[in-house]
């Protein structure tokens, strides 16, 4: 592969790029092929090192042929203790109970989360967990009625 087969895709990505990284990746491939720039010249133009420019070019090609996936910010959960689906499954009984009792007990939720994970967590972790799934309003307003709970759940 010389990269020429990706020129059209690179031109489209330059026009549609929503991030600087996406723009630079397309430029890293397009500039040498369309304008005859060396890798060093391309690196200077896009403001990266020669090594990083080469890696971007390779990554662009790998993404286009489907060998590699585009990484999104949402997918980056570096300290995730559970998957998003596991979190929902864990939280569901507490949310249902809060519907019935009118209160969501953070300390009880925290203790159960620690038992489930096998290690201690901070209270802020519990609040972040609820916020991530759009259920933090239940904590702020413990007397939430069923209609309010449905509205919060539908915003996810």
Residue whose token pair is 């967990």: 129
Q: How far apart are the C-alpha atoms of 87 and 154, rounded to whole Å?
A: 17
pLDDT tens by residue, 24-56: 989 998 899 889 999 999 999 999 999 999 998
pLDDT in tens, 67-88: 777 666 555 566 677 888 888 8
pLDDT number for residue 141: 45
Decide if 74 contacts 109 (C-beta within 8 A): no
CA distance 53 to 132: 35
Specify the pTM: 0.46
Looking at domain 4-65, its CATH architecture is Orthogonal Bundle (1.10)
pLDDT in tens, 86-104: 888 999 998 888 888 777 8
Domain ranges of the chain: 4-65, 84-154
């Amino acid at each position: 592969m010389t990269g020429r087969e990706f020129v059209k895709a690179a031109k489209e990505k330059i026009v549609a790029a929503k991030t600087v990284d996406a723009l630079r990746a397309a430029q890293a491939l397009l500039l040498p092929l369309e304008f005859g720039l060396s890798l060093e010249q391309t690196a200077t133009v896009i403001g990266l090192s020669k090594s990083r420019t080469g890696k971007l070019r390779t990554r662009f090609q790998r993404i286009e042929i489907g060998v590699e996936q585009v990484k999104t910010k949402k997918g980056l959960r570096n300290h995730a203790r559970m998957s998003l689906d596991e979190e929902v499954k864990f939280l569901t009984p507490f949310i249902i109970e809060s519907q019935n009792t009118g209160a969501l007990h953070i300390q009880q939720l925290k203790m159960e989360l620690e038992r489930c994970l096998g290690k201690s967590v901070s209270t802020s972790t519990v609040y972040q967990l609820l916020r991530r799934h759009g259920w933090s309003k239940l904590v702020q307003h413990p007397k939430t009625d069923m209609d309010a709970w449905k509205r919060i759940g539908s915003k996810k």
